[in-house]
Amino acid sequence: MKANQIEGVILDWAGTAVDFGCFAPVHVFIDIFQKVGIDVTMEEARAPMGMLKIDHIRAMLSMPRISTLWEERIGRAFNEQDVENLYGEFEPALLSSLKEYTDPLPGVVETVEALRKQGLKIGSTTGYTQSMMDIVVPYARNKGYQPDYYITPDGTSSFGRPYPYMIYRNMEELKLTAPWKVVKVGDTTSDIKEGVNAGAWSVGVIIGSSEMGLSYDEFHGLSDEEKATIISKTEKRFIDNGANYTIYSIEELPQLIEKINRVLEEGKRPGS
């Protein structure tokens, strides 16, 4: 491997490597708010996706519409105890269903194998806690997907995305020598910001993403025109949040890395 080339790829989990559309947590977020008499939309439930899940709940409660509904329903502004109470409902509900959402996305297993043959290390970060990943990791492994390393926000003192610390832990463990030799791939704006904050190349994967928010059948049931429209909207959100590149699917990643390697040979770095 040349000196100025990508050494490693760090993948997100749900919506990027497994769980097409990142559906495991979404329904649980909607359910826990319904239990306190507040109907949240799918878009509101997805907006903070990629964050540590307790931070996700806090972000939802901070949304003006939800915050107003909370005050009307509960009679006061939300507080930290409310966040913890909702999370106390969220975690066991997610844990009970999580194994059903561990199928690798189309092309992931083959792409990871191709990247390894090129000498690249495969790391990963997530918004899930360690107890959640204790379920996801073995089920994904049995279905053919296993990165070289993974870490949760539990391993970074609960400083999850958009903080860059999980990426740095990957770099340390996988012996990656510089952030600009790392490609971070994810399906949420939180993923994009994590990569940007780390100084890595930040890539948004569109089809199957939480940002797109469609199941496999829903996406493939669209007309070509409808697909083009939602792909364009998703791509724009990634770019607006700092993505260096976007790809339609994970299968485009080896070709993109070749492109980034050519850019590196010209002396360019992320953000330059």
Residue 266 class from Cβ within 10 Å (0-12 exposed, 13-18 middle, 19+ buried)? Answer: exposed
78, 59 contact by CB (below 8 A): no
Residues 145 and 250 in one domain: yes
- Domain of 159, CATH number, reads 3.40.50.1000
Residue 232: per-residue pLDDT = 98
Q: Do both 241 and 111 map to the same domain?
A: yes
Task: Please check whether residues 53 and 88 belong to one and the same domain.
Answer: yes
Instruction: Considering the candidates 19, 53, 55, 191, report the single residue annotated as catalytic.
Output: 53
Where is the domain boundary, 49, 75, 100?
Answer: 100
Q: Is residue 260 part of a domain?
A: yes
pLDDT at 120: 98
pTM of the model: 0.93
Whether residues 133 and 89 fall in one domain? no
> What's the CA gap between 240 and 243, in Å, rounded?
7
Is 71 within a domain?
Answer: yes
Q: Are residue 119 and residue 246 in the same domain, yes or no? A: yes
How do residues 151-204 score in pLDDT, each as one tens digit?
999 999 999 999 999 999 999 999 999 999 999 999 999 999 999 999 999 999
**Domain range holding 40?**
24-100
Boundary residue ending a domain (100, 133, 156): 100
Q: Is the domain of 38 the same as that of 121? A: no
Q: How far is CA 103 from CA 11, 23, 113, 129, 146, in A?
A: 15, 12, 17, 19, 12
* Residue 12 a catalytic site member: yes
12 is in an annotated binding site: yes
* H helix runs in 118-164, sequence order: 130-142
The CATH number of residue 96's host domain is 1.10.150.240
Active-site residue, 181 included: no
Are residues 94 and 125 located together in one domain of the fold? no
Is there a single domain that holds both residue 152 and residue 121? yes
Residues 181 and 84 in one domain: no
- Indicate whether 180 and 238 sit together in one domain: yes
Is 243 contained in some domain?
yes
56-98 pLDDT per residue, tens: 999 999 999 999 999 999 999 999 999 999 999 999 999 999 9
Q: Is 14 annotated as a binding residue?
A: yes
Domain final residue, candidates 59, 80, 100:
100
pLDDT, one tens digit per residue, over 198-208 is 999 999 999 99
Which position among 12, 19, 55, 191 bears the catalytic label? 12
* Token code pair at residue 236: 């724009």
